[in-house]
Amino acid sequence: MATRIADAVIDSPGRLSLSNRRRLEVSFKVLALVLILVPTLFPVAWIVISSMKTNLETHTVPVTLLPENWSISAYEQIFERRNFGRYMSNAMIVALLTTAWGIMVAAWSGYGFARYDFRFKPAVMAFVLIAQSFPRILLVIPYFQFSNRFGLTDTYAGLILAYSTFIQPLCLWIMKEYFEQIPRDLDEAAMVDGASPYRAFWDVVLPLARPALGATAIIAFLTAWNEYEFALVLTTTERVRTISVAIASLIGEFTTEWNQVMAAAAIGTIPVIIVFTFFQRQLMQGMMGGAIKG
Amino acid sequence: MAVESQRAGVPSRRRAAHGHRKTQIHPFLFVAPSVVLLLVLLALPIGQAFLRTFESDAGWGVDNYVRAVRDDHLARLALRHTFYFAFFSVIGQYIIGFTVALLLNGHLPFRGLFRVLFLVPWMLPAVVPGIVWRWIFDGLFGVFNELLYRVGYYSETDIPIAWLGQTSTALGATIVANIWRGFPFMMVLLLAGLQAVNDDLYEAASVDGANAFQRFRDITVPAIKGISFVAALLAWIGNFMNFAIVQVMTAGGPANSSEVFATLIYKNAFLYADANYAATLGIILLALLMIPGALYVRVATRKD
């Protein structure tokens, strides 16, 4: 083994070949990544390509890999005939409001969970963690009934309450984790100086948590935007129907205008792409939320 | 009290204030909004759903559970499919996610761009993966059959396979779509795990003459064991209760050949209007998720 080290150090041609090997390794890696990337992105490209075909061309054999005539008629149709503007703004309103009050409650209570100990705290925290990935298909059943009984079906309020079942615990968990990383000394010093706990929270800790508020809001917004089950069950008319439900409902029992379905899927994905492009780093951190202890 | 603590010796005051605070009202005022909300929004509906599982046409009792466990062959079928769906999804997602994470680890041109592009399937709205794969797998006009045709899989006289329309391939096709959607999540977690490994370890091992396989076995594998476990747990939970992909692609069909637990619950609740039985299946689903859920809570709340 000792001789090998000596070889590597003394023998300069050997070192050259080492850097050559590294270059070869990188080329191999890039090649392999591209090979996996092609099937990964193909369905996304296929959404865009299909959305640019005419309805006739989507029902033609053999399947064309690129549109013969590039056309935006599918986009025109879903906005003019199918009211997709409304579904977009519905989803936007529900996602934004759910996020806004999720963040507000989570910032306030998250501070409490991070700073104080009390009797049932471990149990509550376990519940908060589980609630983020609770089987939504079970929750949908009581929510359907409650909504009917209290007139919340087809209302923003009904959807916002339902979405809060997963947005609230999501925000609470991320905020709590972040507050725990802010040194206690800071708010305790403020309290020693005579500030109330609320003042210490508001003036000292909350300003420091601003990046976490942003990251949490982004994740919460995307999660709400992407939701399907609650929106499917709690909207029966197009009044508050969200984009997810609208996309899926374009698939007909007998005929489907696939260019419109694909245009709708593309439109529904645009806000995600925008958020994704600008806030990639925050999203990554959020995705790892509970999985890795920071 | 505030004025006093300003004047007094800081350390002892601080301790006193700290001890005192425990019996104060502040903690409750901070924590109460979330706790009340969680109780009202989650505990209450789940409790209500749980209670109604004991209600059926036969009266008050465990008839719904007997029906689910003993009589309903569809429930058993759906359970088996759910296990297949979750198991093969996790395996596929892990293999691809791990491969990509290994390739992305270390110095690489366009690394950031690659990472973003690989994340795209994960970020799509929940219905979109099912929608696009349904279109890709379409028997008549799907591009998958077109590609198979072009590589010579079909002869001129063959009738193209309706992947979602025949019982032998429907579930498999939904698993493919689900692997596609879910592998980026594995990739992100595993990549984070790989990046936590100190590069010096690899250097030292190479200097000691360890080959690539030995370095992988003795450094990489132990380093990402923990995160692999967490990622697999989370993926298992998510896949086990998946609704959107199967509902959009096949709605459980044809002839229940791709029926999973979530789609069966939906059918019972909203097509057969049997909410009590649907809730029973939902509670069973929840119970089946208890073990992985508890494991996850233990790992995630561990203080180290």
Could you write out the three-class secondary structure of A216-277? HHHHHHHHHHCCCHHHHHHCCCCCCCCHHHHHHHCCCCCCCCHHHHHHHHHHHHHHHHHHHH
The pLDDT, as a whole number, for residue A291 is 44
Q: What is the pTM of this model?
A: 0.88
Q: Smallest Cβ distance to A269: which of B35, B118, B124?
A: B124
Asked whether the predicted pLDDT for residue B301 surpasses 50, the reply is yes
- A residues 78..117 contacting B (CB < 8 A): 105-106, 108-113, 115-117
d(CA A77, CA A267): 13
Question: Contact B97/B190 with Cβ under 8 angstroms?
Answer: yes
Chain B residue whose CA is closest to A143: B45
Does B45 sit within 8 Å of A146, measured CB to CB? yes
Give the CATH number of domain A81-288; options: 3.40.50.300, 3.40.50.150, 3.50.50.60, 1.10.3720.10: 1.10.3720.10
The residue that leads in pLDDT, A133 or A179, is A179
In a domain, B92, yes or no: yes
Alpha carbon distances (Å) from B157 to A65, A150, B146, B154: 22, 59, 14, 8
Asked whether the predicted pLDDT for residue B15 surpasses 50, the reply is no
The pLDDT, as a whole number, for residue B213 is 86
In a domain, B285, yes or no: no
From the CA of A248, how many Å to the nearest CA of chain B?
A: 7
Which of A27-31, A39-43, A193-197, A269-273 shows the highest mean pLDDT? A39-43
- CATH number of the domain that B115 lies in? 1.10.3720.10
Chain A residue whose CA is closest to B35: A124
Collect all residues with Cβ–Cβ distance below 8 Å to B204 and sequence separation of at least 6. Answer: none
A191 at interface of B, judged by CB pairs closer than 8 A = yes
d(CA A19, CA B57): 76
Question: Contact B64/B56 with Cβ under 8 angstroms?
Answer: yes
Q: Which of B138, B133, B137, B111 is nearest to B121 (CA)?
A: B133
d(CA B231, CA A150): 40
Does B136 sit within 8 Å of A46, measured CB to CB? yes
Does A290 sit within 8 Å of B46, measured CB to CB? no
Asked whether the predicted pLDDT for residue B116 surpasses 90, the reply is no
A38 at interface of B, judged by CB pairs closer than 8 A = no
In a domain, B89, yes or no: yes
In a domain, B270, yes or no: no
Q: What's the pLDDT tens digit per position in B180-203?
A: 999 999 999 999 889 888 888 888
Secondary structure class of A291 (helix, strand, coil): coil
Mean pLDDT of chain A: 87
Does B134 sit within 8 Å of A251, measured CB to CB? yes
In a domain, B136, yes or no: yes
Chain B residue whose CA is closest to A120: B35
In a domain, B74, yes or no: no
Does B37 sit within 8 Å of A116, measured CB to CB? no
A85-94, B6-15, B212-221, B268-277: the lowest-pLDDT one: B6-15
Residues of B in contact with A292 (CB under 8 A): 189, 192-193, 227, 230
The pLDDT, as a whole number, for residue B250 is 95
Q: Which of B263, B224, B233, B242 is nearest to B179 (CA)?
A: B242
d(CA A221, CA A174): 14
